[in-house]
C-alpha cells in the first residue's frame, strides 16, 4: 500500500477529461461538461464493484462516517459502540454528531470482540461501528447478528480494507452501510476522499442530500434536483478531479490486493521462524486485503527485543501500544477531554459538568494483546532487494 505507487497514464487520462471540460464541481454546468460526471461515475463503479445498490462519495473517510451516522439519525443522547483499536477518526465522527463513543475490546482478529460487544449494548445504543482494522476482517457476520437481535444498525468502518472480502462478499457490504477512505496512504487513493455504500435507497438519498447542504436530489438524482430542502445539511462534496483519480485507481484494486498478498506471504514466511511467534487471526485468508503483516510475540519484553533487533537492521516494525493515533490508552486528547470549545463540549455540558469520562485502563485485554504485537505495512511495489533485506532482518530476529 498505498495506491499512489501505481499512479500512471490511466489517472492522467481521467484527470485530463475533467480539465478539458473546465468543470471541477460535481454538480451542474451541464452544457459545459460534455456529459462527463466523474464523481457520479466513480460512485456507480464503486457500488458495482462492492455489489452494493448505492454509493455516496464524500470528501474523506472521516466525513463518510459523519454523513452515515447523521443519515442513520444518530445524535445527542445516543451511544455508539466501536472498538478501542482504530484510527481516531472513528470516534471523532461519533463525537461530531453529538453522540458518546463506547469502546469494546479487540480479540485475536485485532478487531471488535463480539463477546465484549454484548456487554456494552445499552438502551442508549443507536449504532455499532466495527472497524476492519489494518486491512483484515472483523467478525462482521457475528456482529451483524448481535446487532439485529437488538434492532441496532451496523456501520462498517472499512477505511483501511478496500478490496477485502469474506467468502467473496465485500467488506463494507455486510452492515446497514459501510464507509471507505481514499486518503494518501490508503489502498486506493484520491489524495483525500471517502465513500459510503448501502443497499438502502432511503438512507442513500438522505446521505446524498445531507452531504450537499440539504439540496433536494429527488427530481434528478446525481444532480441538485428541484432545489427543495428536506432538512439542513453540510458540505462534504467530492470534486471531479478526485472522482477521476478514483475511477482509475478502482480499476487497479484487485491487482493491488493480489500484489500485497504475494509480498505479505514472503514476509510472513520469514517471520514464521521467530520463536513463539503467532499471526493475527484472519476470518478468511483468501479475502485478506493484505495491507499489513501483523504478528504477536510471547510477551511485551520479547516483543521489545525482537523489534530492537529489527530496528538495528533498519527494518523496525510498528508497535501500536506505543502509537498515539490508533489505540485507546494513547488518546490523551480523548482521555483528557481536550477541546477548543470554551464550554468543554463534547466532553462537558454547558456549565462545565463532565458528560463523558474515560478510564485509560478500561481495555486490559486489548492492551495485553497489542503490547506484544508488531506490524509491517505491505507495499504493492516492493523492490526485490528491499524485500530480501526485510526478510533477513526478520530471520535475524529469530536469535533474540
The residues annotated with a catalytic role in the active site are: 186
Asked if residues 187 and 193 have their Cβ atoms less than 8 Å apart, the reply is no
User: Alpha helices of the chain — where are they, by DSSP H?
Assistant: 9-21, 38-49, 61-71, 89-96, 114-120, 140-150, 201-210, 240-250, 253-271, 300-312, 332-335, 364-370, 384-396
Interatomic CA distance for residues 204 and 208, integer angstroms: 6
- Strand-pairing partners, residue 83, are 104
85, 123, 139, 268 alpha-carbon torsion, rounded to 10°: 10
Q: What are phi and psi of 80, to 5 degrees?
A: -125, 125
DSSP 176: S
Asked if residues 265 and 143 have their Cβ atoms less than 8 Å apart, the reply is no
Asked if residues 136 and 282 have their Cβ atoms less than 8 Å apart, the reply is yes
* Collapsed DSSP state (helix, strand, coil) of residue 277: coil
Burial class (CB in 10 A: 0-12, 13-18, 19+), 77: exposed
* Collapsed DSSP state (helix, strand, coil) of residue 197: strand
Respond yes or no on whether the N-terminal peptide bond of residue 2 is cis (omega within 30° of 0).
yes
Interatomic CA distance for residues 223 and 229, integer angstroms: 14
Amino acid at each position: 500500500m498505498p495506491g499512489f505507487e501505481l499512479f500512471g497514464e490511466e489517472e492522467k487520462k481521467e484527470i485530463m477529461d475533467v480539465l478539458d471540460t473546465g468543470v471541477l464541481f460535481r454538480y451542474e454546468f451541464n452544457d459545459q461538461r460534455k456529459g462527463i460526471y466523474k464523481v457520479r461515475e466513480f460512485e456507480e463503479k464503486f457500488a458495482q464493484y462492492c455489489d452494493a445498490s448505492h454509493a455516496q462519495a464524500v470528501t474523506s473517510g472521516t466525513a463518510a462516517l459523519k454523513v452515515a451516522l447523521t443519515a442513520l439519525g444518530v445524535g445527542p443522547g445516543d451511544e455508539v459502540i466501536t472498538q478501542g483499536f482504530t484510527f481516531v477518526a472513528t470516534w471523532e465522527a461519533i463525537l461530531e454528531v453529538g453522540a458518546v463513543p463506547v469502546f469494546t475490546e479487540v480479540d485475536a482478529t485485532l478487531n471488535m470482540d463480539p463477546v465484549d460487544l454484548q456487554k456494552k449494548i445499552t438502551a442508549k445504543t443507536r449504532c455499532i461501528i466495527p472497524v476492519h482494522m489494518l486491512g483484515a476482517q472483523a467478525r462482521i457476520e457475528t456482529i451483524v447478528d448481535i446487532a439485529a437481535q437488538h434492532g441496532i444498525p451496523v456501520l462498517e468502518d472499512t477505511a483501511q480494507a478496500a478490496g477485502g472480502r469474506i467468502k467473496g462478499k465485500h467488506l463494507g457490504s455486510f452492515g446497514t452501510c459501510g464507509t471507505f477512505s481514499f486518503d494518501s496512504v490508503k489502498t486506493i487513493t484520491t489524495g483525500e476522499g471517502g465513500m459510503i455504500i448501502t443497499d438502502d435507497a432511503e438512507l442513500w438519498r438522505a446521505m446524498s442530500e445531507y452531504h450537499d447542504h440539504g439540496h433536494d436530489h429527488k427530481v434528478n438524482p446525481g444532480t441538485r434536483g428541484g432545489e427543495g430542502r428536506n432538512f439542513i445539511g453540510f458540505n462534504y462534496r467530492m470534486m471531479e478531479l478526485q472522482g477521476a483519480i478514483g475511477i482509475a485507481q478502482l480499476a487497479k484494486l484487485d491487482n493491488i490486493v493480489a500484489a500485497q498478498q504475494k509480498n505479505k506471504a514472503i514476509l510472513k514466511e520469514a517471520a514464521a521462524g521467530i520463536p513463539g511467534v503467532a499471526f493475527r487471526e484472519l476470518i478468511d485468508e483468501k479475502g485478506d486485503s493484505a495491507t499489513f503483516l501483523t504478528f504477536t510475540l510471547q510477551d511485551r519484553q520479547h516483543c521489545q527485543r525482537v523489534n530492537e533487533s529489527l530496528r538495528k537492521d533498519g527494518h523496525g516494525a510498528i508497535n501500536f501500544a506505543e502509537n498515539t493515533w490508533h489505540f485507546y490508552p494513547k488518546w490523551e486528547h480523548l482521555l483528557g477531554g481536550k477541546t477548543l470549545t470554551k464550554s468543554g463540549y463534547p466532553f462537558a455540558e454547558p456549565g462545565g459538568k463532565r458528560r463523558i469520562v474515560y478510564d485509560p485502563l478500561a481495555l486490559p485485554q486489548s492492551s495485553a494483546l497489542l503490547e506484544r504485537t508488531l506490524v509491517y505495512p505491505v507495499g504493492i511495489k516492493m523492490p526485490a532487494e528491499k524485500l530480501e533485506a526485510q526478510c533477513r532482518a526478520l530471520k535475524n530476529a529469530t536469535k533474540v
